[in-house]
Amino acid sequence: MVDEQQVAQTAVVEEVTIFDRIVKKEIPATIIYEDDKCLAFRDIAPVAKVHFLVIPKDRDGLTGLSKAEDRHADLLGHLMVVAAKVANQEGLGTNGYRIVINEGKEGCQSVYHLHIHVIGGQQLSWPPGV
| Alpha-carbon span 102 to 63, nearest angstrom | 11
N-term to C-term CA, the chain: 20
- Catalytic position from the list 51, 72, 113, 115: 115
HSE-up of residue 66 (Cα within 13 Å, Cβ side): 7
Q: Does 72 participate in catalysis according to the annotation?
A: no
Beta bridge mates, 55: 39
Q: What string of DSSP letters covers 19-75?
A: HHHHHTTSS---EEEE-SSEEEEE-SS-SSSEEEEEEESS-TT-SSGGG--GGGHHH
Catalytic residues: 115
